[in-house]
């Protein structure tokens, strides 16, 4: 899932303060799970902004709403007529949602209330960790299911580097050395011989944006 | 720490709100969220014992204080409540 964290309140206030009618628009999927931008967080943010406006003596109408997803037009189309009555949409969705809504809404600005971070796993409630970088060219079958692109600080294909330190990374003792994890995992799988093979330079062209693809079967049906 | 660093850190520090002057005879509006099973029962018992409390306190009974949501507190402040008291 996509993770993100709410921007500092002052930054959000500076985006909002010059508008007259603002909608804080939440997304109830990924960013709701990380408590950054769901309907609940949108409501809380709207309340805080109303109080700030009243404190500063500025008249702004601030409301909130939320839909299940901002990354598919079907979800926000039903409320489009309503949201077009606002001067500003302060979206608490991820950057994907902000982009897509901006493209669809016409001449109303859509501003981000959160900083979109990575797509991550949820090992424990309230904890998010990056395990895959979406590089477009997966090598997990060669590395025991542990991604060196996302989990090694240097994204080394043939590690570890000299900075590995008793299983930790030199960047931080809290980061486990991905290549130590890979070694341990390959040992368990009895596949250590695979580690002797050199992984060749990666085709990074598949990791460069803008990326898009179409489902072939659906394309055939459309024909 | 040299003075230049000190003054930058001072500038970065959040500004402290100045205390407002309290008009004479002003009473704060207090909202109490009380758990049905303990604090609300205690308030009930106080009533049975004919103990009185200030009329500027209003009590809202919750099935459990775990039911308290941030938005309840924010809505209270937005509507002019001066202090929220949670008991459970």
Cβ-based contacts of A8 with chain B (< 8 Å): none
**pLDDT at residue number A223:** 81
| B77 has a chain A CB within 8 A of its CB | yes
Which of A43, A50, A51 is nearest residue B71 as measured by Cβ atoms?
Answer: A43
For residue range A63-75, what is the model confidence (pLDDT) as tens digits? 999 999 999 999 9
Per-residue pLDDT tens over the stretch A159-169: 899 999 999 99
Domains of chain B, earliest start first: 25-87 (3.40.50)
Span B55-72, pLDDT tens digits:
999 999 999 999 999 999
* DSSP 8-state secondary structure symbol assigned to residue A104: H
> Does the distance separating the beta carbons of A48 and B71 come in below 8 Å?
no
Q: State the pLDDT at residue A29.
A: 95
Searching chain B, which residue's CA lies closest to the CA of residue A48?
A: B74
At residue B1, the pLDDT reads: 43
Distance CA A42, CA A10 (A): 16
Higher pLDDT, residue A129 or B2? A129
Domain boundaries, chain A: 2-118, 135-207
Question: Does residue A109 surpass a pLDDT of 90?
Answer: yes
The pLDDT assigned to B43 comes to: 92
For A110-116, what is the mean pLDDT?
A: 98
State the average pLDDT over residues A82-89.
96
Express as a percent the part of chain A with pLDDT over 70.
100
**Cβ <8 Å between A50 and B78:** yes
Going by the DSSP 8-state scheme, the letter that residue A200 receives in this structure is P
In B3-22, the residues whose Cβ lies within 8 Å of chain A are: none
pLDDT attached to residue B23:
87
Rounded Cα–Cα distance for residues A182 and A193 (Å): 12
Q: What pLDDT, on a 0 to 100 scale, did the predictor assign at position B7?
A: 52
A51: nearest CA in chain B?
A: B78
- Give the mean pLDDT of A92-119: 96
Q: Which residues of A touch B71 (CB under 8 A)?
A: 40, 43-44, 47
pLDDT on residue B20: 77
| Range of weakest confidence among A10-19, A198-207, B16-25 | B16-25
Percent of residues, chain B, with pLDDT higher than 90: 67
Report whether A15 contacts A24 (CB < 8 A): no
Higher pLDDT, residue B6 or A129 = A129
Cα separation, A11 vs A7, whole angstroms: 7
Angle at the Cα of A45 (from A41 to A47), degrees rounded to 5? 120
B75 vs A contacts (CB less than 8 Å): 47
Interchain pair A44, B74: CB under 8 A: yes
Asked if A44's CB is within 8 angstroms of B70's CB, the reply is yes
pLDDT tier, A222 (very low <50, low <70, confident <90, very high otherwise): confident
What CATH number does the domain located at A2-118 have? 3.40.50.2300
Count of CB atoms within 10 A of residue A41's CB? 25
Distance of residue A40 Cα from the nearest chain B Cα, in angstroms: 8
Distances (CA, A) of A120 to A65, A71, A100, B78: 26, 17, 21, 36
pLDDT number for residue B18: 79
Return left, alpha or beta for A210; rule: phi > 0 is left, psi -120 to 50 is alpha, else beta: beta
Q: What is the largest CA-CA distance in chain A?
A: 70
pLDDT tens over chain B, length 88 residues: 444 545 555 556 666 777 778 888 889 999 999 999 999 999 999 999 999 988 999 999 999 999 999 999 999 999 999 999 999 9
The ipTM, to two decimals, is 0.72
Strand, coil or helix: A112: strand
| Res. A54: pLDDT tops 70 | yes
Contact predicate A109/A86, CB 8 Å: no
- State the smallest CA–CA distance between residue B19 and chain A in angstroms: 14
CA-based nearest residue in chain B for residue A47: B74
Distance from CA of B43 to the nearest CA of A (A): 30
């Amino acid at each position: 899932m996509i993770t993100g964290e709410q921007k500092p309140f002052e930054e959000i206030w500076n985006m909002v303060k010059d508008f007259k009618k603002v909608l804080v628009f939440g997304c109830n999927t990924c960013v709701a799970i990380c408590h950054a931008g769901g309907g609940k967080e949108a409501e809380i943010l709207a309340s805080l902004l109303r109080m700030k406006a009243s404190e500063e003596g500025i008249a702004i109408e601030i409301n909130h709403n939320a839909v299940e997803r901002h990354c598919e037009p079907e979800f926000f189309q039903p409320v489009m007529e309503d949201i077009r009555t606002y001067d500003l949409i302060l979206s608490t969705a991820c950057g994907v949602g902000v982009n897509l809504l901006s493209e669809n809404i016409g001449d109303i600005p859509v501003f981000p209330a959160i900083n979109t971070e990575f797509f991550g796993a949820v090992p424990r409630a309230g904890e998010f960790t990056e395990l895959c970088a979406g590089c477009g060219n997966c090598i997990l079958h060669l590395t025991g299911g542990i991604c060196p692109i996302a989990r090694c600080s240097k994204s080394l294909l043939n590690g570890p580097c000299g900075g590995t330190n008793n299983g930790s990374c030199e960047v931080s003792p809290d980061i486990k050395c991905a290549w130590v994890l890979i070694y341990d995992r390959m040992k368990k799988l009895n596949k250590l011989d695979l580690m002797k093979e050199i992984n060749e330079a990666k085709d990074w062209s598949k990791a460069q944006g803008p990326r898009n693809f179409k489902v072939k079967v659906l394309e055939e049906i459309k024909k | 720490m040299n003075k230049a660093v000190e003054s930058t850190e001072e500038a970065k520090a959040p500004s402290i709100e100045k205390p407002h002057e309290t008009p004479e005879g002003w009473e704060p509006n207090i909202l109490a969220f009380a758990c049905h099973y303990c604090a609300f029962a205690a308030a009930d018992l106080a009533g049975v014992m004919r103990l009185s409390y200030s009329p500027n306190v209003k009590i809202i009974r919750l099935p459990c204080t775990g039911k308290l949501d941030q938005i309840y507190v924010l809505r209270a402040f937005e509507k002019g409540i001066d202090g929220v008291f949670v008991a459970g």
